Amino acid sequence: MTDFQAKQIRELRMRGVGYRAIASVIGLSRDIVRNYCKTHGLDGLASELTINMKEQMQQGKACLSCGKELKQPATGRKRKFCSDSCRREWWAEHSDSIQRKETAFYDKNCAYCGDTFTVYGNKNRKYCSHTCYVHDRFWRKEEGRAPYVSPSKSEEEKNESNEMEIDTCR
């Protein structure tokens, strides 16, 4: 049995699917599926299992993604996931659960193409995509535009020109 098949068994069992139905979907025998479920604590009536697993997940006793039993730390924040891969997988599937503040959305104009884009959490962003950044930063010569001056260099030049003006006035 592969890891992918084991993951499929776990997911289907968590949804309340029976051994025989899981076996026919995955292409394994019913006995292999049943033995896997028994050794991993997924045995019993499927309907009761899903209710128990949901309760355990809500109580923080099981991983929200795969349903494995969690060992909570004595101090600190309670765990919700058994591993980083489970955490990433769960958030990828539940991206609508992310609570975003309305004040953190910014409407910007791309410095290269001029298109309007919305960005979350970064009010200093200049480009709508990496492609526009690369074109603006590295393809200026090919496109016949003035050479790129980084913001830090332009500030240094401004400071130097201000110092020169002060020296000439003295």
| Token digits of residue 136 | 């603006």
Q: What pTM was computed for the model?
A: 0.40
In this structure, how many other beta carbons lie within 10 angstroms of the beta carbon of residue 65?
23
Residue 115: predicted pLDDT: 92
Close Cβ partners of 75 (under 8 Å, ≥ 6 residues apart): none
Of 73-77, 135-139, 143-147, 155-159, minimum mean pLDDT range: 155-159
